[in-house]
Amino acid sequence: MSTKPVPDIVVARLPLYLRALTAMQSSGKTFVSSKEMAQWLGISSAQIRKDLSHFGEFGKQGMGYAVSELREKLRRILHLDREWPIVVIGAGHIGSAVAAYPGFASHGFRVCALFDNDPAKIGTSIAGLCVHDVRTLPEFVRAHGVRLAMLAVPAEAAQSVAELAVSAGILAILNYAPLNLMLPDHVRVENIDPALHLQHMTYYLG
Amino acid sequence: MSTKPVPDIVVARLPLYLRALTAMQSSGKTFVSSKEMAQWLGISSAQIRKDLSHFGEFGKQGMGYAVSELREKLRRILHLDREWPIVVIGAGHIGSAVAAYPGFASHGFRVCALFDNDPAKIGTSIAGLCVHDVRTLPEFVRAHGVRLAMLAVPAEAAQSVAELAVSAGILAILNYAPLNLMLPDHVRVENIDPALHLQHMTYYLG
DNA sequence: CAGTGTGAAAGTCTTCACAGCT
DNA sequence: AGCTGTGAAGACTTTCACACTG
């Protein structure tokens, strides 16, 4: 066995293709060429064809790709053909906004609980979700088989809370705290830090 | 002239170095080696040295880099040695959370106004900021010389609102709407889409 | 003939490894 | 000794360009 793994950078673009296909589909298109998608996404058509070729031959020569078929294929590849429960850790501004964001549910992610360590917040309800004591996180994660977490706590608390989550079985963390989490290799971490993006952009604003 | 530009991917890492240096500084360190920073950030020391070498020779052989000096140099390179006013467009969940996020002010970004098209929100105050009619955006941007915008409106509205902002003089947009903005080349756009990250991660959660 | 799938070429980015400085 | 700065090597990514197919 040991087939060469698909480069991570390619996997990262699949959700983009999925987004384009969903838009195409709702605008009634049934076939789309790599060139059209490329223009829509602002990348090259060769890249799209090469990326997709890692997973199979999805196109029809001379006419492009069947929109809904390719969309289904990508959903399966990304394991989006089922619902993913997620926990949000941290019920401050970011955690609350994240929990209320409708963009997750519409993609098959179900935010199922919020956790915090502030007694004033525990027991209250935010965006229709109960705020639990963070100490009950491991129990909850195990009981519900949750694998995904979004971490929105202050930087000082992030590392230890992340470890707690991982010890309970969390395998992937979307981290909003502005630091690098140090976690075992089997845990996938992606970071979102708007300040970093702004600092990147100001470089070009001479 | 026409010195070769620094690769964008290198520029994107400078804010990370800045973050590490700030942490080092507040923990009292005065010198730091590329190796220490590398461990802290989870990247290689060679990469840090190579990246920094694009901008000059900042280190001292045998001892590393003077923390506060390098920090100042990076701040200047990224044009963070001054305050940047920013407007937030869209006063929904995301816009409000973004406007309230303390992480911008602490990095020299000053959110100076919120804009929306909902009459029920216009005139109210969110996170201590007045919500303006989006139709007054061009006027405001010109009057205050704002160059940076964060866009947090629904996907359907994003393209046209972005064009409005650009026509008024906005040069860089941090876009939270889940689509690719099509804008003139001189405008810098960076995107934040948490759903994309989640979809990327589920690939690995077989 | 329009458009895919793909080797090969070109381009970009990272790591190596070491001369040279303190 | 300890660590930087950097060419050269290596790894990875994108683009090219065309044989092939419906």
Please, are residues B11 and A203 in contact by the beta-carbon 8 Å criterion?
yes
Which residues face B189 on adjacent strands? B173
Per the document, the length of chain B is 206
- What is the token pair recorded at A156? 């000082």
Neighbours of A121 (CB within 10 A): 20
Buried b (16+ CB within 10 A) or exposed e, B133-171: bbeebbebbeeeebbbbbbbbeeeebbebbbbbbebebb
Collapsing DSSP states into helix, strand and coil, what is residue B70? Answer: helix
The pTM (predicted TM-score) of the whole model is: 0.97
CA atoms within 13 A on the CB side of A109: 28
Q: Which residue carries 């959700």 as its tokens?
A: A15
Give the pLDDT of residue B165.
98
Give the pLDDT of residue B2.
62
Q: Kindly list the residues from chain A whose CB atom is less than 8 angstroms away from the CB atom of residue B203.
A: 11, 14, 77-79
Give the residues of chain A that fall short of pLDDT 70.
1-2
Question: Percent of chain B having pLDDT more than 70?
Answer: 99
Q: What is the mean pLDDT of chain B?
A: 97
> Cα separation of B133 and B146, whole Å?
17
For chain B, say whether A197 makes contact (Cβ under 8 Å): yes
Chain segment B6-26, per-residue pLDDT in tens: 999 999 999 999 999 999 999
Give the pLDDT of residue A206.
86
Give the pLDDT of residue B206.
87
> Cα separation of B86 and B39, whole Å?
34
Amino acid in position B118: D
Give the pLDDT of residue B3.
74
For chain A, say whether B10 makes contact (Cβ under 8 Å): no
Q: Are A192 and B196 inside 8 Å of each other by CB? A: no
Residue B65: band (very low, low, confident or very high) from pLDDT cuts 50, 70, 90 = very high
Give the pLDDT of residue B50.
98
Please, are residues B37 and B18 in contact by the beta-carbon 8 Å criterion?
no
Q: Kindly list the residues from chain B whose CB atom is less than 8 angstroms away from the CB atom of residue A111.
A: none
For chain B, say whether A187 makes contact (Cβ under 8 Å): no
Please, are residues B84 and B108 in contact by the beta-carbon 8 Å criterion?
yes
> Cα separation of B115 and B139, whole Å?
12
Q: Which residue carries 């902002």 as its tokens?
A: B165
- Report how far Cα B42 is from the mean position of its chain's Cα atoms: 21
Q: Quickly give A199 CA vs D3 C1' distance in Å.
A: 29
Q: Which helix (H) or strand (E) holds B86?
A: strand B84-89
